[in-house]
Structure 1
Amino acid sequence: MFETDLRLQCGRALRVYDSAPCDDARLPVVTLGVPTDTLYEAGEWLGIRWISCDLPSTTAADLAAVVDAAGVDGFALMGHGEGGALALRTAALLGDRVEAVVTFGCTLPAEFILIAIQTTPVLLCHGLADRISPATNSRWLAGRLALPTLDLHLGLDHTTILTQSEPALEWIRDHTG
């Protein structure tokens, strides 16, 4: 994993991680609060290039700078909790550059952001036993997004929903060009 500090326009440095810098043959997937260490094997056979950054205080504009610095045009996003809301905000900001979004136990972004996400397919994975971010969040999002897929799981909570990361990668592969 290649690590570097990206200096943002505001002067702040953001730690960025990239599993395959300059490998244009791999689908870039930007992860936000989703650990990739258990997903490397799946990423290899699916041809995924992992890109991530330190999440605290990261904005959609910061993520735009990250993918620009990585030389990436189109990419997918995976986010857990607040990282899911950030993924949706980023999809709204960057439009067609975002080919697909997956959220796990997503918190809610502002409703007006969802209006801007018209052509991006979104997979909303949520555990029905999530007490931190209730599944009603994903149900609410599914009712407001143009291309949602709602994926609810009985017995999974806020962290165990991440067991669905590998199937989500397959969903990304099937929904990106």
Structure 2
Amino acid sequence: MFETDLRLTDGRALHVYDSAPCDDGRLAVVTLGVPTDGLYEAGEWLGIRWISCTLPSTTAADLAAVVDAAGVNGFALMGHAEGGALALRTAALLGDRVEAVVTFASTLPAEFVLTAVDAPVLLTHGLDDRISPPTNSRWLATRLPLATLDLHPHLDHATIRTRSEPALEWIRDHTG
């Protein structure tokens, strides 16, 4: 795992992780609040390159700088909670560079952002989530034309991330 601090134009620095720098043969998946530790094996057999960065105060423009610095053109996004909303905002900002988006227990971004998202989106949510209610993902599914709603009984805000490996397979199936 390669680690570096990326200095942004406003002087802030983001700590960035990259599992396979300069490996253009792998699909880049930018993770936002989704731990990748248990997903390295799945990432290897799926040919995925993980890129992640510190989340507090991170914006869609910051993520554009991260993928630009990594030399990545097209990529997918996976985000948990606020990271899910950030993934949707980033997909809206970067348009066709974003090939697919997966959210886990997403919070809600501004509705006008959703009209600009034209990538396929998997909205994964646990029905026992008491922090970010599943109605968030249901609402998002009605506003995103390429959304797939993926609800799971008995999973909550944290345990929904156990669905990460199937979500990676979904990404692989929905990207070029």
**Shorter-chain-normalised TM-score: which range?**
over 0.9
Question: Are 2:68 and 1:68 equivalent residues in the alignment?
Answer: yes
1:110: Cα distance to partner? 0.3
Deviations 1:68-92 (A, max 9, x none): 0000000000000000000000000
Question: Are 2:86 and 1:53 equivalent residues in the alignment?
Answer: no
Secondary structure at the aligned position of 1:38 is classed as helix
Partner Cα separation in structure 2 for residue 139 and residue 145 of structure 1: 10
User: Partner of 1:109 in structure 2?
Assistant: 109
Deviations 1:77-136 (A, max 9, x none): 00000000000000000000000000000000000000001x200000000000000000
1:146: Cα distance to partner? 1.2
- TM-score, normalised to structure 2's length? 1.00
Question: Are 2:138 and 1:139 equivalent residues in the alignment?
Answer: yes
Identity rate of aligned residues, in percent? Answer: 85
Q: Unaligned regions of 5+ residues in structure 1, if any? A: none
1:152: Cα distance to partner? 0.1
Q: Unaligned regions of 5+ residues in structure 2, if any? A: none
Partner Cα separation in structure 2 for residue 13 and residue 111 of structure 1: 29
Residue type of the alignment partner of 2:104:
F
User: Partner of 1:81 in structure 2?
Assistant: 81
Aligned residues: 176
Residue type of the alignment partner of 1:129:
D
User: Partner of 2:162 in structure 1?
Assistant: 163
- TM-score, normalised to structure 1's length? 0.99
RMSD: 0.3
Partner Cα separation in structure 2 for residue 140 and residue 53 of structure 1: 28
User: Partner of 1:175 in structure 2?
Assistant: 174
Moved over 6 A (4+): none
Partner Cα separation in structure 1 for residue 8 and residue 165 of structure 2: 32
Partner Cα separation in structure 1 for residue 155 and residue 16 of structure 2: 30
Partner Cα separation in structure 2 for residue 174 and residue 128 of structure 1: 25
Residue type of the alignment partner of 1:156:
L
